[in-house]
Structure 1
Amino acid sequence: MDLSALPPDRAAPPGRERAAFGTALRLAREARGLTLRELAQTTALRRDYLQALEDSQPLEDGQLGGLPEATFARAYLRTYARELGLDPAPLLAEFDRLARPGPGQLPRA
């Protein structure tokens, strides 16, 4: 999936655009007529984590708000993408780019 082809997310506050992987997940879910509750049941992932993946916004410290440790968040992202029939590789690549700590910051443990 080419994340650059996604439309800008109008639901995010100005200057705080959602991560493209979150927009891709939301658009794919909506296109299939699925709710977060339905996906939480089929994936066995918490609804609030699914919502956090869709709403992900890069924070100043390299973290993505509302998500657990990066190892778990990556696994949730992969599961969610596969459930929607998306290739998880480009979504994970963007996740890794956004979750990487900035210069002078320690990596998240």
Structure 2
Amino acid sequence: MQLNPKTIKELRQKFNWTQQQLADACDVSLRTVQRVEKEGAASKETTMALCAVLEVRQGKLIKLDEDTTPLGGATTLNKHTITTVLALSSVVSFILGMITVFFIMR
């Protein structure tokens, strides 16, 4: 499971614990805590132990990629982009309507 290393470290420091103290409380090795704080990689069992010891829900520890964009790679739409798309769709609708009327009147 991929956890947010920064969140883990901040929660540990909030309790004023060393990595060894957190490892002992979770009943995992020091190396496991070091890996979680460096890479965010943790097993489900380690994640559950961290949640219990740090008194947080699992969702708080899950890594959220800040570099990814929503909707699987779609860019975020701003007001200008939305306005442009609406204007273009209005023009296209008008043109299609005029073409339809032209063929009906023929």
TM-score by length of 2: 0.49
Give the structure with the larger helix fraction. 2
> Which is greater in Rg?
2
* TM-score normalised per structure 1: 0.48
